[in-house]
Structure 1
Amino acid sequence: MNEPQVWVLIGVFAASMFGMITVVSTLFIHVVKAEIGGLRIEVLGEIRALDRDVTALYRNTFGIDRD
């Protein structure tokens, strides 16, 4: 354990592991943000469709002419 080469290898291994953890966590956060954005768009589309359906039912039920 007193050899300089051993300490260099330990340092290189530690630096590479730290770098890999950083890259993987950054990519994971990017994927999660993209999925949340897609889900937000999908939910907003469903809400708009539901609002349109409720408006149509309201107009039909209370006798309001459709435009």
Structure 2
Amino acid sequence: MNDAQIWTMIGAFTAIMFGMMTVVSTLFVRVLRGELNGLRGQLNGLRGELNGQIHGVHGQIDGVRAEIGGLRAEMNTKFDGVDRRFDSMNQRIDGLDRDVQALVKHTFGFDRD
């Protein structure tokens, strides 16, 4: 082979190598974009699922709050009943104290204050 043929072969080989690198890099970029789009879709799906679970937790929290509100009302009602009983007992004890003072005054003839 002469000098011109060698340079032609070198040029053709170089062109083939650059073409091959272009095709490989283009295909690699396409595959990479496809995988990234798939990953983006999966992340969006997970985001939707997570939002759904968060809304579910919010619903459960609201239910617990309502239940606590009901228990608070029930406790307040029971405490009101206990307060009424204490008031009744205070009135009875005051009446009993008044009666005992009257007995002491009547029996011994003096006030106990």
TM-score by length of 2: 0.53
Runs of 4+ in 1 over 3 A off after TM superposition: none
Compare CA radii of gyration and give the structure with the larger one: 2
Unmatched 5+ stretches in structure 1: none
2:40 counterpart SS class: helix
**CA displacement 1:6-61 (0-9 Å, x = unmatched):** 01100110100010010000000000000000000000000100000010110111
Distance 1:61 1:4 in 2: 84
Q: Percent identity?
A: 41
- The residue identity in structure 2 corresponding to 1:37 is N
Task: Let me know the Cα RMSD of the aligned residues.
Answer: 1.7
Give the number of aligned pairs: 64
Q: How does 1:47-58 map to 2 (within 5 A)?
A: 47-58=47-58
TM-score by length of 1: 0.88
* Higher RCO, Cα 8 Å, sep 6+: 1
